[in-house]
A = this chain, B = another copy of it.
Amino acid sequence: MFRHTSQLQFEAKPEKPDAHYARKLQELIGGAFGEMTVTMQYLFQGWNCRMEGKYKDLIMDVATEEIGHVEMLATMVARLLEGAPAQTTAEMVGKDPVVAAVIGGMDPQQAIVSGGGPTLSDSNGVPWNGRYIIASGNLLADFHANVAAEAQGRLQTARLYNMTDDVGVRDMLKFNLARDTVHQNMWLAAIEELQEDGLETAVAPGALFDEEHAEHAGSIWHLSDGTHGAEGRWASGPAPDGMHEFSYLQNPEPLGGKASAPKPDPLLYATSPANLGLIEKAIKKLT
């Protein structure tokens, strides 16, 4: 169960409104790597965790924090939209090209649909959706997804940081950047700890290593014509999991037979010589 306080986790006050920027910030609310994604991803991971204790408790701590980040951004967007043009645009466009440009670059739904507030969409107005999250039950696989989400989140925040010089907006983003730093470090630490605790290997899931085709578990296939692919440490030597050896196949050849689909079922009307008779009959009957 959850409780809410109307105080924000961190202040979200722009110096002055900026309708263009309010659109861009939508990316951090409802983008694939926005705060909504980490909120729901961590909540579902916590609820789906099969092991009571430190990992689950950590996940729920951070998940709960993230809801508050959506709140901070939603508040910031509404404040950035204060006083955004809501009137006869044709006249204004003709008079003032800067206003015209602002109107052109606004998210129209922030005005028409939300009345000057945020939507649950990204910076192109595409709605957030539930396929952005993953909660597989395997903590190693999921923590890697969490590192990835925090890394992309911090990257997008950093880009957005450069796109404004509003001191108030930047102050909030400095907090967001810091939280993305600690969360990235934290999931990296948790990945190490999973392995130290013997719960997972470097590769997820820690299973079926003895059933997979061992001869293909270390080789990289050279299928593009770049000449430098073999220069990295992935081309030879021990793999990070300590269980496999890397190699680089300079001239790989296909191992399988011809790609082909099975013979058609006449009732599904695939084009096929086997159906020739059917069509001739159909035509004769009719003509």
Contact = CB atoms under 8 A, between A and B. Distances in A.
Contact of A155 (B81, B160, B205): B205
Given A4-B225, A137-B269, A87 B162 contact: yes
A233 B186 CA distance: 8
Contacts of A159: 86, 111-112, 115, 267-269
B1 A211 contact: no
Contacts of A177: 208, 211-213, 217
A20 B93 CA distance: 10
B228 A54 contact: yes
Interface in A158-205: 158-166, 174-175, 177-179, 181-182, 184-186, 188-190, 192-194, 198-205
A239 B286 CA distance: 13
Interface residues of A, number: 217
A126 B123 contact: no
Interface string A1-30: 111111111111100001011011001001
Given A102-B104, A189-B240, A280-B198, A47 B78 contact: yes
Interface string A203-247: 111111111111111111111111111111110000111111010
A94 to B, nearest CB: 7
Contact of A116 (B13, B67, B147, B270): B270
Contacts of A102: 93, 100, 104
Given A226-B6, A232-B189, A255-B9, A115 B137 contact: yes
A183 B216 CA distance: 11
Contact of A6 (B60, B222, B276): B60
Contacts of A233: 189, 192-193
A270 B94 contact: no
Contact of A1 (B8, B23, B88, B215): B8
Contacts of A24: 108, 112
Interface centre among A2, A231, A233, by most chain B C-beta atoms within 10 angstroms, is: A2
Nearest to A60: B224
Given A10-B255, A108-B23, A182 B217 contact: yes
Contact of A48 (B78, B129, B276): B78
Interface in A238-267: 239-244, 246, 254-265, 267
Given A242-B287, A271-B138, A74 B89 contact: no
22 contacts: A2-B4, A3-B224, A44-B117, A50-B272, A62-B220, A64-B224, A75-B259, A86-B162, A88-B163, A90-B165, A98-B100, A101-B104, A115-B137, A115-B138, A127-B129, A152-B204, A158-B207, A179-B217, A189-B239, A206-B282, A209-B282, A243-B283
